[in-house]
Structure 1
Amino acid sequence: MAAIKTTSEPRPESRTESISAGSDRDHVQSLERGLALLLAFDAEHPEPTLTELAQLTGYSRPAVRRFLITLERLGYVSSRAGRWSLTPRVLLIGQHYTESHALVAVAQPHLLALAEQTGESASLAVLDSGEVAYVARVPVRRIMSINVQVGTRVPAHATSMGRVLLAWAPAGVVDEVLTRHPPRALTARTTTDPVALRNLLHEVRAQGFAVVSGELESGLLSAAVPVRDRSGTVVAALASSTSTGRASEQVLRRDTVPLLLEAADRIGTELGHRRQTQRSVPSEGFY
């Protein structure tokens, strides 16, 4: 199986490209570089040197040194024997996200209930820069080789949550994701053909849920449904994950999908969404 590379955020050049020409004058490059420096710390580089950080970010050593000193004074990084590391203070950024987003607070008890009902892990994720980003999770058992937790990012094309999020995303977003993040094979079962993927997205939108087996990781089986906000917009995907050794696609469709739909409906109701009596179907010109 091809290695799954989880990331924290797009590199600085991706951020720059996403800023419209009309807002260039409002772009604060030093803030962008400071954030990019924080994001350079990851599982592969938990305690990099100044030189390594300069190589990872593409910034000059003097610039990296200034950013590190500033971040150290603010309490976000610390140094020891020539190596730098993040401090627990950076966790406050993620904490502020969860505290300022009603979605996560509303969804958490429903994830707990779903995990109790199914005996399997339950997750909530959003689409961010072409990837699926976990924003809430209740793990029951470890069924993936990677350590999935809040903040983990995985490719959208090979996951049930990603397909749900893409199925209800605007056509332009889907085009951008498939262009800037070309689907790659993660297992022998991964769908990588853009046309085939678009057809799958049509199917997901028509039936109201997605089931994916062994495309992100061999043996991983998951189902996901959309979560809507007050306006009816799909703002997240709710998923339940298990292994092919514990269940089959048919069992997931029969037993788990109805529970997911009920949980997503309850979350949406608390967010102000009024349930529709008819399931949405692809509109003309979709994609």
Structure 2
Amino acid sequence: MSSDTRPANDRTRPSPPSEGMAGLAKGLAVIEAFGAERTQMTVTEAARAVSLSPAAARRCLLTLTELGYLVQEDRYFRPTPRMMRLGEAYLEGATLPTLARPFVEAGRDELGESMSLAVYDEGTALFVARAEVHRIVSTGVRLGARLPAYASATGRVLLAGLPEEERERYLRTCEPRRTTPHSVTTIPEIRDRIEAAAAEGFAVTDEELELGMRSMAVPVVDSAGRVHAAMSTSVFVARVTMEEMRRRYLPVLRAQASALGRLL
């Protein structure tokens, strides 16, 4: 006896078609393929990057060019400033970056250092809010920038807030790279740093990503104990000692992150 309980006249109807737009999905995949390490692409490179046929990749690239998001020079396609509008839709309209702005600004004003807020996104710390201190030499972090989660103070705080299964899945697939002599590149060491971030409620890096730079990050936690983001600051080694960061910077970061967390 059949277990199908639908009326007889419904059982012959085909399943409704998906309402998704395959072409839009392909175009967005091509957009996401551009980045700091892939600033321009040919049709062949785009097809390989997003697992499309060359014909489909070419249609996506030409459509994005017609819409003003890309410009074509010979065989290569490059993003135009119009591409920034896609990110602005999140940065201007999303609740978290909007709520975070006064808190990163308050931290900047108290410490005299640039402050940032980042969220976890596909194995990276994605920076969604920032308050700058203008100096001749910048610390280099900008809105929309990404740092590898395993290597950054911000990323380790965010990883510490993930469910254990998700965190371990990430550690099984990540491929650490050495960028300075101080980089931590073994999975056991990285796991230890993440566990320390969870236990201590903050993380630091000392010239691990870039020589001459130190960073500190704390979690932004809501009333239910969920980690939504990480608030951080980076300083030049020649200007601020690690001892000063722990003594003076950590309380400010924690105070501003806690105030933001109470709104979430």
Q: TM-score, normalised by structure 2?
A: 0.82
Residue 77 of structure 2 is aligned to residue 84 of structure 1: yes
CA distance in 1, matches of 2:111, 2:141: 19
AA partner of residue 84 (structure 2): L
Are positions 1:69 and 2:59 aligned together? no
Aligned-residue Cα RMSD (Å) equals 2.5
Higher relative contact order (CA 8 A, sep 6+): 1
Contact 1:220 1:242 in 2 (8 A): yes
Amino acid at match of 1:259: V
| Larger Rg, first or second structure (1 or 2) | 2
Counterpart among 164, 167, 177 of residue 160 in structure 2: 167
The count of residues paired between Structure 1 and Structure 2 equals 245
Q: Distance in 2 between matches of 1:219 and 1:72?
A: 40
Does residue 33 (structure 1) correspond to residue 26 (structure 2)? The answer is yes
Q: Say whether residues 1:101 and 2:99 are aligned partners.
A: no
> Per the alignment, do residues 226 and 45 of structure 1 end up closer, same or farther by CA in structure 2, a change over 3 Å counting?
closer
Write the mapping of 1:14-163 to structure 2, written as runs, cut at 5 A: 30-43=23-36, 46-54=39-47, 56-57=49-50, 59-79=52-72, 83-140=76-133, 141=135, 142-144=137-139, 147-163=140-156
Give identity over the alignment, percent: 38
Deviation at 1:138, TM superposition (A): 2.2
Q: CA deviation at 1:162?
A: 1.0
Structure 1 residue 259: Cα displacement: 0.3
Q: Which residue of 1 aligns with 2:232?
A: 239
Letter in 2 for 1:157: Y
In structure 2, relative to structure 1, the CA distance for the partners of 1:82 and 1:198 (3 Å cut) is closer
Query: Which residue is 2:177 aligned to?
Result: 184
Determine the C-alpha separation between the residues in 1 that align with 2:79 and 2:235: 33
Q: Tell me, yes or no, if the aligned pair for 1:143 and 1:220 is still in contact at 8 Å.
A: no
* TM-score, normalised via structure 1 length: 0.76
Change (3 A) 1:196 1:36: same
Specify the alignment match of 1:197 in structure 2: 190
Deviates more, 1:47-56 or 1:253-262: 47-56
Q: Is the 8 A contact 1:211 1:253 kept in 2?
A: no
Q: Distance in 2 between matches of 1:168 and 1:111?
A: 20
CA distance in 1, matches of 2:124, 2:131: 20
Distance 1:238 1:124 in 2: 5
